[in-house]
Structure 1
Amino acid sequence: MVSNIMSYEIELVENSEQIDAFHDLPFQIYEDYPNWAPPFRFEIENIFDPEHNVFFDNGECERFLVKQGNRVRARFAVMNNPARDRVLEPRMGGIGFLEMENDRRLVRKIIDFAEAWHYDRGYRAMRGPINFGENDTYWGLLVENYDEPPIYGMFYHPPYYKQLLEQTGAVKLDDHWSYKREFAKPIPERMKKITDRIESRSNVSLRSIDMNNIYRDAEYIREIYNEAWSEQEIDEREEEFTELTRDTVREMVDKLKPVMIPDSVLIAFVDDEPASFIVCVPDLNEISRETGGRLRWWHYPKLLWFKRRARHLRSLVYGTKPKFRKMGLEALTFTRGIQYTREAAPSLEYLEGAWVSEKNWLMQRSLEALGCRHHKTHRTYKWEF
């Protein structure tokens, strides 16, 4: 598929040469942005592979290069998932994985193309930047704090992206915040007392993930996650929820097991029933910087030693079953996670908790009570046409 628009040519990514160009472009864009870190190429490719991404079962996703002559000047992807999109008002498809040179006319052509793509499929609105999957990774545009590197699973963007997109008529849909906490900072005494009191209850227990029974514990986490995120405080997130499958969780475990710090993956039980959990992982962007986003067999020794030298930790996912909410289990898992991880991995400098909705005031207050501070914002925009 080729579409000519003035001096630009938009190509559907179909072959290995185009895939290489899709991944090579950001290295040109971010040459003057030292904080940028490339995501792992294999993770991005899995998103566009129907064999790895269950969203292709009910949706559509295509990615494109924008060329001027032989030069690639931008890239992007467009996507829809009708069952999920119709819970939005108005119904919205998506645009994502957008990287572009600083050219107002260029981004206008991209947005025009994306709007036409969606219009042909019966849509009259779209949102972005988004991922063709869940919104805990590779979602949103960085609009605050360009002075620190991105944590694993989060994109970094130049400041001019915000200006260019807003000139196309994009309006804010929602913001998600990242919180930061230095490990050297002591836990507030109030939080220590609260968590000590919670853990002293006879029917409450807490432990790290058992690496010898990791798939069993992963099933406990999957059970909690599916109950927790199918019944949320924020209705629109509940409606967009997709249940984690056993295969998906097993793939995640296999990927993260080499770098996992057991004391940063905690499960709380109430009357021996899995009730709450938190999963934190070392910042794999520290590895991707060293390998240029590749992960080949000779890089695996880096992974095996990485957790002993990692400097940053990301809280990747957490959850509490609805019937156990308001027991303070979130405070327990977060507080003990900080305490245990600091002892287990003294090289760590800070924890970043990404993807807290601006509407989720309860989580915001909880993180702030732990001494975390809001330090980054990723924004999702919408276009109506």
Structure 2
Amino acid sequence: MTIIEVKSAAHVKLFHQIPFEIYKKDSNWIPHIKQDIEKVFNEKENKFFRHGEAVRWILKDEKNMYVGRIAAFINRKKAFSEKQPTGGLGFFECINSQDASFKLFETAKKWLKEREMEAMDGPINFGERDRYWGLLIDGFENRPIYANPYQPPYYQKLFEDYGFKTYFEQYMYSRKISDDIPEKYKKRSERILKDKGYTFRHLEKNKMFDYAEDFRTVYNKAWKTHSNFKGMPASQARSIMRKMKPIMDEKLIWFAYYNSKPVAFFIALPEINQIFQHINGNLNWFGKLKFLYHKFKGTCNNVFGIAFGVTPDFQKKGLEGAIIMAVKEQFEIESKQYKELIITWIGDFNPKMIKIVNNLGTKKYMTLRTYRKMFDKNATFERCKSI
């Protein structure tokens, strides 16, 4: 087998073609948008190149068939904050072959070891955790969510046979929008709603950056206990809003305030994979026309929640249920096209949030797994600590 570093336009094309061979018999699979993936490997587009590096390869077998791909990367801001320097691998696709998969894993490991890494996490993203992060291990019957993982069941064995161990699991949940809020939460929420200090409102696009600052305020308070948390600057919050703007429905993004100060948010977006299933992974001019057609046709009838945060002082008071009730009321009155809410993703290191989501009457949609491989077999492996 021959490993080939992706350097030319022809290599890039092959990198994107390989998954179509892997999933050709899987009707559930929806290809990632190749333009989105290319941004990950573009130094001008991906800010992680300011403090990191990335490389990718494709694998050719003895019959000159392309049978796999992989990427490796180092985020130096995070790598050296771990107990041992830790890099990452991702965008792994491979036929069901131990030889082929081990060749890809060994290539990534060698490149990372040459750069002083002592472990690697995967499959992960050279970027934020909300995209391309984790390996699907349960929920194969469900359609993948935009920019989230979907892989064949045999990948789990390929990773574990190579020696990867579970670093943490990630859970995605769903609930019918028409389903009632559990009585326990409804009563607590009603007490919140009677307190005139609380107000709830959805985002307005013409005030988007004001809401970006409210989002940042809550985020920095609610996420401060997460590992390697550095705080979110205003520029990053504005960037997040700008990236969401082309697909956002402002009535799906809600904020809670107490005495006019932001204390919680719920951010959801239309589940645009319901559109991208018609585009076949290429958002070229024709793909954009298809996207606009399906957007105005109302093809999206699901939403996916990408962020849900409550400041510590306002947790366990029923505010979580109150903001969900506000969103539910919006769905029932105006946004009637939406039928299902999918919440992505919550790590098993966050038991508080898992309990909240379970109490809101959700069911498990998918289980993903983030693995870690220690390069020294005698090194002590530790799972991700709970927050």
* TM-score (norm. length: structure 1): 0.90
Counterparts of 1:144 and 1:338, CA distance in 2: 28
| Structure 2 SS opposite 1:291 | coil
> Equivalent of 1:221, from 210, 215, 222?
215
Residues 162-181 of structure 1: pairs in structure 2 closer than 5 A: 162-181=156-175
2:356: which partner in 1? 366
Does the CA contact (< 8 Å) of 1:311 and 1:349 recur in 2?
yes
* Residues 239/262 of structure 1: CA separation in 2 closer, same or farther (3 Å cut): same
| Structure 2 SS opposite 1:138 | coil
Q: Deviations over 1:257-292 (max 9, x none)?
A: 343222210011111112211110111111221111
Displacement of 1:378: 0.4
* Residues 222/294 of structure 1: CA separation in 2 closer, same or farther (3 Å cut): farther
Residues 81-100 of structure 1: pairs in structure 2 closer than 5 A: 81-100=75-94
**Which deviates more, 302-311 or 284-293?**
302-311
Counterparts of 2:31 and 2:192, CA distance in 1: 41
- Is residue 142 of structure 2 the alignment partner of residue 148 of structure 1? yes
- Is residue 287 of structure 2 the alignment partner of residue 287 of structure 1? no
| Structure 2 SS opposite 1:227 | helix
Residues 63-212 of structure 1: pairs in structure 2 closer than 5 A: 63-68=56-61, 70-212=64-206
| Structure 2 SS opposite 1:185 | coil
* Residues 258/82 of structure 1: CA separation in 2 closer, same or farther (3 Å cut): closer
**Which deviates more, 79-88 or 325-334?**
325-334
State how many pairs are aligned.
Answer: 372
| Structure 1 SS opposite 2:108 | helix
Displacement of 1:248: 4.3
Counterparts of 1:342 and 1:379, CA distance in 2: 35
1:278: which partner in 2? 266
Displacement of 1:302: 3.2
Counterparts of 2:199 and 2:59, CA distance in 1: 54
Q: Deviations over 1:108-132 (max 9, x none)?
A: 1111112111111112211110111
Q: Deviations over 1:123-182 (max 9, x none)?
A: 221111011112122101000111111112211100111111111111111111111111
The amino acid across from 2:29 in the alignment is: W
* TM-score (norm. length: structure 2): 0.89
Displacement of 1:31: 0.7
| Structure 2 SS opposite 1:95 | strand
Counterparts of 1:255 and 1:80, CA distance in 2: 24
Displacement of 1:26: 0.9
Does the CA contact (< 8 Å) of 2:70 and 2:108 recur in 1?
no
> Equivalent of 1:296, from 284, 290, 296?
284
Does the CA contact (< 8 Å) of 1:311 and 1:347 recur in 2?
yes
**Which deviates more, 253-262 or 103-112?**
253-262
* Residues 115/210 of structure 1: CA separation in 2 closer, same or farther (3 Å cut): same
Instruction: Please give the root-mean-square deviation of Cα atoms over the aligned residues, in Å.
Output: 2.1
% identical aligned pairs:
30
The amino acid across from 1:146 in the alignment is: F
Residues 1-16 of structure 1: pairs in structure 2 closer than 5 A: 8-16=1-9
**Which deviates more, 155-164 or 41-50?**
41-50
Q: Deviations over 1:87-106 (max 9, x none)?
A: 32333211111011111100
The amino acid across from 2:98 in the alignment is: R
* Residues 42/50 of structure 1: CA separation in 2 closer, same or farther (3 Å cut): same
Counterparts of 1:380 and 1:217, CA distance in 2: 32
Displacement of 1:184: 2.8
The amino acid across from 2:72 in the alignment is: V
Displacement of 1:349: 2.8
In the alignment, structure 2 segments of 5+ residues that lack a partner are 376-387
| Structure 2 SS opposite 1:253 | helix
**Which deviates more, 251-260 or 367-376?**
251-260
- Is residue 331 of structure 2 the alignment partner of residue 341 of structure 1? yes
The amino acid across from 2:34 in the alignment is: R
Q: Deviations over 1:200-239 (max 9, x none)?
A: 212211101112222322232133223322x12xxxxx23
Counterparts of 1:352 and 1:222, CA distance in 2: 23
1:4: which partner in 2? none
1:354: which partner in 2? 344
Counterparts of 2:4 and 2:193, CA distance in 1: 57
Displacement of 1:192: 2.3
**Which deviates more, 108-117 or 336-345?**
336-345
